[in-house]
């Protein structure tokens, strides 16, 4: 047997190079083929998208639209699971601690980006512990005022607020909320002083009655009041004007460099398979580009924006740093 083995080994050594190269190439291709097969088999069971707000809120609706599109394209259920609590930190930590196999995903909202600065004792770091998968897009906000306020333009509002320091009340849905930090950015860039009034319940009655005078809110939450004349819109917080409000200027037209939007995207636990992330990214990009989905997003005041995982990761890092500066400037402290 030893003699035969030795003879076989010698015969292998005498194989022509043209026979050896295909063998080597085939061996090298095995890991690649294995990874491709694994990515193509994903998902083989239901995938959970963790949403850090209650059902029915804007981000929840966006997650369900994307989940439905993923289910249709990948042939497996994408289940939205609402895990609100602890200012979104509960849901984020759940995904950070989940298995990194791509079956637990996180809908990333603006809260995830500001919490890194608002809460000093977090057991996780979003930039470090969540792998960026795909951008979905951004929620468009508008700056509205009660009609009783004499200002009809942003320059007039700035002049009025400076002439009446500490007398203009700014409503928000809570300390550290998007409304709050978007208004704080406006104050930082214009030098005006607004009195922050956070609400746990609906702020609209007080805004409509003039108890509070200004609100930086999602387009969908205020557009009907604008159209009925119950609120006056001064500007949009994204750099470009909105198709639904073509005559309304961007805040940046008067405050150069001002930009604020509620970004939404999908993340996974750090270490999730690269091939799975690539497949999810391309499929999510296809979902948000679908004309039917785009029409529904437009109804929500949401602008679809597709990115590669690396581009989305850069956005997360940049937005986290941007809002950290605003929070520190405004001395915003979590409740």
Report the pLDDT value the prediction gives residue 76, as an integer from 0 to 100. Answer: 98
Can you tell me the distance from the alpha carbon of 262 to that of 178, in angstroms, rounded to the nearest whole number?
7
Pick from 10, 67, 75, 95: which is nearest to 271 by CA?
95
24 falls within a domain: no
Residue span of the structural domain in which 324 resides: 47-139+261-329
pLDDT single digits (tens) 267-310: 999 999 999 999 999 999 999 999 999 999 988 889 999 999 99
Report the pLDDT value the prediction gives residue 23, as an integer from 0 to 100. Answer: 45
Total-model pTM: 0.84
What CATH number does the domain containing 212 carry? 3.40.190.10
DSSP assignments along 246-292, one per residue: TTSPBGGGTSTT----EEEEEEEETT--HHHHHHHHHHHHHHHHSHH
Q: Are residues 152 and 122 in the same domain?
A: no
156 falls within a domain: yes
Using H for helix, E for strand and C for coil, what is the string for 152-211? CCHHHHHHHHHHCCCCCEEEECCCCCHHHHHHHHHHHHHCCCCEEEECCCCCHHHHHHCC
Length of the chain as a residue count: 335
Q: Are residues 281 and 240 in the same domain?
A: no
CB count in 10 Å sphere of residue 292: 10
Total domain count, the chain? 2
Q: Are residues 162 and 132 in the same domain?
A: no
Is the distance from CB of 201 to CB of 227 less than 8 angstroms? no
In Å, how far are 127, 190, 258 from 141, measured between CA atoms? 25, 18, 12
What CATH number does the domain containing 71 carry? 3.40.190.150
149, with CB counted inside 10 A (0-12, 13-18, 19+), is middle
Q: Could you say which of 190, 224, 253 is where a domain stops?
A: 253
Is the distance from CB of 231 to CB of 147 less than 8 angstroms? yes
Report the pLDDT value the prediction gives residue 79, as an integer from 0 to 100. Answer: 98
Q: Could you say which of 253, 270, 291 is where a domain stops?
A: 253
302 falls within a domain: yes
DSSP state of 86: G
Q: Are residues 209 and 167 in the same domain?
A: yes
Q: Are residues 228 and 285 in the same domain?
A: no
Report the pLDDT value the prediction gives residue 179, as an integer from 0 to 100. Answer: 94
23 falls within a domain: no
Q: Which residue has the tokens 């981000």?
A: 59
pLDDT single digits (tens) 182-236: 999 999 999 999 999 999 889 999 999 999 999 999 998 899 999 999 999 999 9
Q: Are residues 115 and 178 in the same domain?
A: no
Can you tell me the distance from the alpha carbon of 137 to that of 291, in angstroms, rounded to the nearest whole number?
15
Can you tell me the distance from the alpha carbon of 142 to that of 221, in angstroms, rounded to the nearest whole number?
10
Residues of the chain falling short of pLDDT 70: 1-40
Vertex 36: Cα angle to 31 and 42 (nearest 5): 130
Q: Are residues 228 and 265 in the same domain?
A: no
Is the distance from CB of 120 to CB of 206 less than 8 angstroms? no
185 falls within a domain: yes
Pick from 334, 335, 323: which is nearest to 184 by CA?
323
Q: Are residues 249 and 267 in the same domain?
A: no
Report the pLDDT value the prediction gives residue 30, as an integer from 0 to 100. Answer: 47
Q: Are residues 130 and 161 in the same domain?
A: no
Q: Are residues 149 and 106 in the same domain?
A: no
CB count in 10 Å sphere of residue 161: 24
Can you tell me the distance from the alpha carbon of 166 to that of 195, in angstroms, rounded to the nearest whole number?
6
34 falls within a domain: no
Q: Are residues 146 and 132 in the same domain?
A: no
21 falls within a domain: no
- CB burial readout 171-183, b (16+ within 10 A) else e: bbbbebbbbbbbb
Q: Are residues 59 and 152 in the same domain?
A: no
CB count in 10 Å sphere of residue 49: 21
DSSP state of 103: S
244 falls within a domain: yes
Q: Could you say which of 195, 221, 253 is where a domain stops?
A: 253
Compute and round to an integer the Cα radius of gyration of the chain: 26
């Amino acid at each position: 047997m030893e003699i035969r083995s030795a003879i076989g080994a010698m015969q292998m050594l005498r194989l022509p190079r043209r026979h050896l190269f295909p063998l080597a190439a085939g061996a090298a291709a095995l890991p690649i083929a294995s990874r491709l097969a694994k990515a193509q088999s994903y998902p083989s069971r239901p995938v959970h998208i963790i949403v850090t707000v209650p059902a029915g809120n804007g981000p929840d609706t966006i997650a369900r639209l994307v989940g439905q599109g993923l289910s249709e394209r990948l042939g497996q259920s994408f289940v939205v699971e609402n895990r609100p609590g602890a200012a979104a930190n509960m849901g984020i930590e759940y995904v950070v601690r989940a298995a990194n196999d791509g079956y637990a995903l996180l809908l990333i909202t603006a809260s995830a980006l500001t919490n890194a600065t608002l809460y000093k004792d977090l057991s996780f770091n979003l930039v470090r512990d969540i792998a960026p998968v795909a951008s979905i897009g951004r929620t468009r906000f508008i700056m509205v005022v009660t009609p009783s306020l004499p200002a009809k333009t942003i320059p007039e509002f700035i002049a009025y607020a400076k002439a009446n320091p500490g007398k203009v009340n700014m409503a928000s849905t809570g300390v550290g909320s998007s409304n709050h930090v978007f208004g704080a950015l406006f104050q930082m860039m214009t030098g005006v002083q607004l009195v922050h009034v956070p609400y746990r319940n609906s702020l609209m009655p007080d805004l409509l009655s003039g108890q509070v005078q200004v609100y930086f809110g999602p387009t969908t939450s205020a557009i009907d009041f604008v159209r009925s004349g119950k609120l006056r819109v001064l500007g949009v917080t994204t750099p470009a004007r909105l198709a639904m409000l073509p005559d309304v200027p961007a805040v940046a037209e008067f405050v150069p460099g001002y930009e604020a939007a509620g970004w939404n995207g999908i993340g996974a636990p750090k270490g999730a398979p690269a091939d799975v992330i690539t497949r999810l990214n391309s499929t999510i990009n296809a979902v948000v580009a679908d004309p039917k989905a785009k029409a529904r997003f437009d109804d929500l005041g949401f602008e679809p924006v597709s990115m590669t995982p690396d581009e989305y990761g850069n956005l997360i890092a940049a937005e986290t740093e941007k809002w950290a500066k605003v929070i520190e400037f405004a001395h915003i402290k979590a409740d």
